[in-house]
């Protein structure tokens, strides 16, 4: 891959992650390229400026966590909790992601070009997540707001205890969680989905997807459920 023009080059085989993150939080260059991440944890966390960070390799836990405004690209796979509690900006993983991708995210766009493991989008609060492949079980568990788009298949208990997050799946769903139901795919949803797919760089036909959301039955106290 060609280096970004005027980008700062950092080699994590020689530099500590703590020092890299400190430099990313200091005024200076807006473009960074990180070599030899070697699966290290917490790379590019807590960014709060419009930076561009390209990471050439696989990353460990919580890469780009709490991201605001920055654009972070992982040219490899990501460990647990990539883009956890993301607020804004863009995080893209060119490979696969482990569990809890985009967990508790409030905003921004997370794109995973490969597969995502269990609990993708758990407790999402406004983030948009687009997965090019499939996702594991309990994804979007307690999802409160935002959109989860899955171009492949979804595992068990999709959308369990869902609030108002919207889920679109192109492939098969193993099972739906408590209070998650299939809903009609209306014109406004097709338009929304087309925009999300375009932003993520995928060219699937929105009409190939199905929409899932909350049946809103868990909102209400039911005396029969009391013990």
In a domain, 212, yes or no: yes
- Fill in the DSSP letter of residue 7: P
Residue that finishes a domain, picked among 69, 98, 127? 98
Domain boundary among 98, 129, 162: 98
Query: Is the model's pLDDT at 3 over the cut of 50?
Result: no
| Residue 222 in domain | no
> In whole numbers, what is the pLDDT of the chain averaged over residues?
95
Structural domain contains residue 103: no
Same domain, 140 and 90: no
Residues 6 or more apart from 186 whose CB is under 8 A from it?
none
Q: Is residue 223 part of a domain?
A: no
Q: Do 93 and 127 lie in a common domain?
A: no
pLDDT tens sequence across 161-204: 999 999 999 999 999 999 999 999 999 999 999 999 999 999 99
On whether both 113 and 92 belong to a single domain, the answer is: no
DSSP string, 210-221: EEEEE---TTS-
Residue 27, burial from CB neighbour count under 10 angstroms (0-12, 13-18, 19+): exposed
Give strand ranges (E) for 51-124. 52-56, 71-74, 90-93, 109-112
Do residues 57 and 37 make contact, with C-beta atoms less than 8 angstroms apart?
yes
What confidence category does residue 226 fall into, taking pLDDT thresholds of 50, 70 and 90? Answer: low
The answer to whether residue 30 is domain-embedded is: yes
Could you tell me whether strands 109-112 and 125-131 are parallel, antiparallel, or unpaired per DSSP bridges?
Answer: parallel
Structural domain contains residue 132: yes
pLDDT at site 91? 98
The verdict on 85 and 118 lying in the same domain is no
Q: What pLDDT digit, counting tens, does each position of 141-163 carry?
A: 999 999 999 999 999 999 999 99
What residues does 52 pair with on adjacent strands? Answer: 31, 71
Same domain, 113 and 212: yes
Query: In this structure, are 165 and 92 located in the same domain?
Result: no
Same domain, 118 and 93: no
Which tokens go with 87?
A: 């607020």
Both 81 and 143 in one domain: the answer is no
* 208 inside domain: yes
Give pLDDT tens digits for 96-126. Answer: 999 999 999 999 999 999 999 999 999 999 9
Greater pLDDT, 77 or 218: 77
Judge if 54 and 113 occupy the same domain: no
Among 61, 80, 98, the domain-final residue is: 98
* Statement to judge: residues 14 and 41 lie in one domain: yes
Q: How many domains does the chain have?
A: 2
Verify that 120 and 202 share a domain, yes or no: yes
Co-location of 165 and 212 in the same domain:
yes
Does the predicted model carry a pTM greater than 0.85? yes
Residue found under tokens 């995080």? 91
- The domain containing residue 72 runs over which residues? 1-98
**Residue 225: inside a domain:** no
How sure is the predictor about 28, in pLDDT bands with cuts at 50, 70 and 90? confident
pLDDT score, position 2: 45
Write the CB contacts of 212 (distance below 8 Å, at least 6 apart in sequence). Answer: 158, 159, 162, 166, 167, 168, 169, 173, 176, 180, 181, 182, 183
C-beta of residue 153 within 8 angstroms of C-beta of residue 136: no
Identify the DSSP state of 132. Answer: S
């Amino acid at each position: 891959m060609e280096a970004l023009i005027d980008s700062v080059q950092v080699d994590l085989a020689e530099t500590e992650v703590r020092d890299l993150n400190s430099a990313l939080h200091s005024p200076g260059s807006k473009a960074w390229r990180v070599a030899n991440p070697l699966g290290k944890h917490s790379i590019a966390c807590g960014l709060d400026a419009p930076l561009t960070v390209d990471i050439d390799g696989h990353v460990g836990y919580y890469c780009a966590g709490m991201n605001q405004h920055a654009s972070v690209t992982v040219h490899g796979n990501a460990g647990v909790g990539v883009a956890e509690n993301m607020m804004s900006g863009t995080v893209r993983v060119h490979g696969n992601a482990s569990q809890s991708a985009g967990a508790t995210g409030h905003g921004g766009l997370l794109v995973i070009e490969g597969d995502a493991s269990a609990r993708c989008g758990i407790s999402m609060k406004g983030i948009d997540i687009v997965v090019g492949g499939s996702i594991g079980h309990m994804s979007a568990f307690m999802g409160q707001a935002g959109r989860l788009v899955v171009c492949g298949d979804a595992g068990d208990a999709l959308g369990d205890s869902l609030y108002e997050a919207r889920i679109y799946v192109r492939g098969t769903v193993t099972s739906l969680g408590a209070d998650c139901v299939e809903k009609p795919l209306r014109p406004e949803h097709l338009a929304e989905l087309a925009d999300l797919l375009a932003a993520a760089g995928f060219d699937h036909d929105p009409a190939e997807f199905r929409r899932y959301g909350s049946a809103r039955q868990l909102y209400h106290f039911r005396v029969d459920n009391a013990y």
